[in-house]
Amino acid sequence: MSPHRASLRERKRVAMLEALERAAVELAAEHGYDHVTVEMISEACMTSPRTFYNYLGSKEAAILGPRTPFASPEQVERFVHERGPDVLVDFLSMVIDSLTETPVDRELYQLRQRVIYTTPELSAKRLAIDGELEARYRAVIAERFRAAGRLEATDAQLDDEAHMVIALARGVLTYTAAKWYEPGFDRTVRELIEDSIELVKRVLGDPSEPLD
Amino acid sequence: MSPHRASLRERKRVAMLEALERAAVELAAEHGYDHVTVEMISEACMTSPRTFYNYLGSKEAAILGPRTPFASPEQVERFVHERGPDVLVDFLSMVIDSLTETPVDRELYQLRQRVIYTTPELSAKRLAIDGELEARYRAVIAERFRAAGRLEATDAQLDDEAHMVIALARGVLTYTAAKWYEPGFDRTVRELIEDSIELVKRVLGDPSEPLD
DNA sequence: GCTGGTTCGTGCAGGGTGTGCAGAATTGTA
DNA sequence: TACAATTCTGCACACCCTGCACGAACCAGC
């Protein structure tokens, strides 16, 4: 990125940040979130609690790690003006792209997941974060409808429809994420997505079980 | 419920609980959630902070109010063994029934909603609660599939399908709730639900825009 | 290298939430 | 009324988090 090698300051900063996050996650995995204090974490990294707060802001943040990224403005732009045959597929493509952009430390990630999953308070927080992202994406989808010249519908209707797309995408993504982290995973994300879209259609549109 | 009129203790208890919740919500609506302390709330009800905690357990709980109820065992039982043509419709009926069983103080409810909506921390918490309910309902739906003798599918597949139903229901319910609280609401819940199911089908299954 | 300026880590004081405990106050009952 | 059971309350405490100010570490220019 930068022509010069990162300064000592910068390198120390990154190292400390990583150390604190890792210590937080590992301690929580071992003793349970509630039984880990900020003092313990900072002590493990040979620094002061005050510094911990300067870096992470809260105990929660240390465990949850960096916020899941929103699609970049370029990705959003492309999605909005795209004219694929299926909104859901295009939307999922965008989200998956933005999610797989930055590589993750798989081991730490999985440890995080375990801690989060076994701590109601943290599961709660993550659900909330997802919810926020959904709200933002919802606006993006409605924007795409508008860009496509859907003039027969009111803004409210388009927003409702966007909401449905989000709800569907949510199902697909949860399904996909679950599969992705299963032990013997050996397929591409896109295959998984196609599968789960099929699943949605089956749930909803199975012609052998018509509505009413 | 009980043959005798509630005792003085019981009546005072209920009165205090309501007073504390109302005070919490009203103070938060006026000054903002962060600027209201437990001390303020308890003082407004002429009691001690310690008592507040005995009643509510946390400041959050006071604002959020009673947890949204899960369907009763009987309702769940009925749903599981029902053989309606459409799982989604049956499921939504059950949820709506359980939700509309206990009448709510509409005014306080709306004030709550406003406070929650304008406080990220509280929105987060509510999303989380919804998420928990969804997880439990998901198991119920999978149970129904099993009871219906869906032997061609594995447990995992049924669970995935249940997940999709939840995702869809989520969309429908959000849509419905939004409409329900719009000013000039003059239709039945069931009409709304039918509308939004139509919407889902349109989003997903519009034959004029086939997949691929 | 030395030095001055800047950034960053740290201790301290303090406000807020939430909990265990034990005694005081209130209610139910004989 | 007097006794028993329940509930309220004050107190001490642990923990989370923040503002502030001082001192240490780092960087840049000489």
B8-62 and B73-205 share one fold: no
Note the pLDDT of residue A186: 65
What average pLDDT does this structure show over B77-83? 93
Nearest-Cα distance to chain A for B49, in Å, is 23
Whether residues B199 and A161 touch (CB distance < 8 A) is answered with yes
Smallest Cα–Cα separation from A148: which of A87, A75, A91?
A: A87
pLDDT above 70 as % of chain B = 89
CA A35 to C1' D16 (Å) is 13
Q: Is residue A64 a contact partner of residue A124, using CB atoms and an 8 Å limit?
A: no
Smallest Cα–Cα separation from A173: which of A156, A155, A193?
A: A193
**A84 near B CB under 8 A:** no
Domain B73-205, classified CATH 1.10.357, yes or no: yes
Smallest Cα–Cα separation from A87: which of A150, A151, A195, A169?
A: A169
Q: What angle separates helix A120-147 from helix A87-99, to the nearest 10 degrees?
A: 130
Quote the tokens at residue B3. 């043959």
Q: Is residue B167 a contact partner of residue B192, using CB atoms and an 8 Å limit?
A: no
Note the pLDDT of residue B4: 52
Q: Is residue B24 a contact partner of residue B59, using CB atoms and an 8 Å limit?
A: yes
Report the alpha-carbon distance of residue A6 to residue A189 in Å, rounded: 35
**Torsion angle of alpha carbons B42, B43, B48, B54, nearest 10°?**
-10
Report the alpha-carbon distance of residue B59 to residue B62 in Å, rounded: 5
Q: A interface mutation test: which of B190, B204, B208, B209 has the most A CBs within 10 A?
A: B204
- Tell me the pLDDT band of B206, cut-offs 50, 70 and 90: very low
Q: Is residue A97 a contact partner of residue A71, using CB atoms and an 8 Å limit?
A: yes
- Name which residue leads in pLDDT, A27 or A206: A27
Whether pLDDT at B76 is above 90: yes
Note the pLDDT of residue A5: 64
Q: Is residue A79 a contact partner of residue A144, using CB atoms and an 8 Å limit?
A: yes
What number does CATH give the domain A8-58?
A: 1.10.10.60
**B125 near A CB under 8 A:** yes
Note the pLDDT of residue B152: 79
- Which residue in this structure is represented by tokens 């397929």? A187
Torsion sign across C-alpha atoms A195, A122, B129, B141: positive
- Which residue in this structure is represented by tokens 């439990």? B136
| A-to-B residue pairs, Cβ atoms closer than 8 angstroms | 120
Whether pLDDT at A183 is above 80: no
Q: Is residue B134 a contact partner of residue B48, using CB atoms and an 8 Å limit?
A: no
CA B36 to C1' D12 (Å) is 24
Report the alpha-carbon distance of residue B184 to residue B182 in Å, rounded: 6
Within 7 Å of a protein beta carbon, the nucleotides of strand C are 7-12, 16-21, 27-29
Nearest-Cα distance to chain B for A120, in Å, is 9
| CATH class of the domain whose range is B8-62 | mainly alpha
| B172-182 per-residue burial string, b: 16 or more CB within 10 A, e: under 16 | bbbbbeebeee
Which sequence spans correspond to the domains of chain A?
8-58, 73-205
> Which tens digits make up the pLDDT trace of A66-116?
999 999 999 999 999 998 878 888 999 899 889 888 887 878 988 999 999
